[in-house]
Amino acid sequence: MASDANQPLVTLEGVRKRYGAGTPREVEALRAVDLRVGAGEFAAIIGPSGSGKSTLLNLLGLLDRPTDGVLRLNGVDPNALRERERTKFRGRTIGFVFQFHHLLPAFTAVENVLMPSWIERGRVDDARTERALSLLERVGLGGKARQPATDLSGGEQQRVAIARALLLQPPLLLADEPTGNLDTQSADRIFALFRSFNRELGTTVLVVTHDPRLAARCDRVIELVDGRIVDDRRRPA
């Protein structure tokens, strides 16, 4: 499963996604989408409700499979992998941050950050614990590592979710409306964290957002309408 260094991190060629195929309720959520995203890019995916943004993110996150077309991540066709290999590949390659942080309330902040390690290996070691604590420091929560997730504010819980997504150092970070439930100040702080990890670690970041302020601060804006990319613009250097 070695990747080709000359390949874009993300490649979609003629990708379609249909739901309810062959039934009266068939819906084509994505229509022949072509997209390439290079390593280290920072891009927003925008568009009206029902435009296919979440469908696209679900395909990129390997939570779903395209009906037609080719999808490659890091030079690998994940849909050609057996399910167990695909799951391992997803864990190594992709970090997720959602609008709802999905922390486990019975666990502390650092225990939540360590969850990907438990899933991957069935255990944690000192190196992973050190990294989890370091990430919590990076997101401004070093002093709250041992606090239960339920004791944290919404913005703090979202920062824990970002640390969790980055524990295994994935090359691709996908964020689905990550600031949708936050006030402006907390949203700005979340955006700044994405930007810092993008610049300092080279993490590729794709953010689905309805927030025009956030999209305008990304280096690239990909706009979807009715399942098609209608605009793909880059901010001037």
Task: Compute the C-alpha angle 47/210/201, nearest 5°.
Answer: 100
The residue ranges of every structural domain in the chain are 10-234
Residues 159-171 have pLDDT tens digits of 899 899 999 889 9
pLDDT more than 70, % of the chain:
96
User: Distance between CA atoms of 74 and 60, rounded to whole angstroms?
Assistant: 11
Residues 162-216 have pLDDT tens digits of 899 999 889 999 998 887 777 888 788 888 888 988 998 899 999 998 888 889 9
Q: How many CA atoms lie within 13 A of 101 on its CB side?
A: 25
Q: How crowded is residue 31: how many other Cβ atoms within 10 Å of its Cβ?
A: 16
Residue 13 phi, psi dihedral angles, 5° rounding:
-130, 110
E-strand ranges in the chain read: 10-19, 27-37, 42-46, 68-73, 94-98, 172-176, 204-208, 220-225, 228-234
Q: Whole-model pTM?
A: 0.87
| pLDDT over 50 (residue 114) | yes
Q: Are 206 and 175 in contact (CB under 8 A)?
A: yes
Which class in CATH covers the domain with range 10-234?
alpha beta
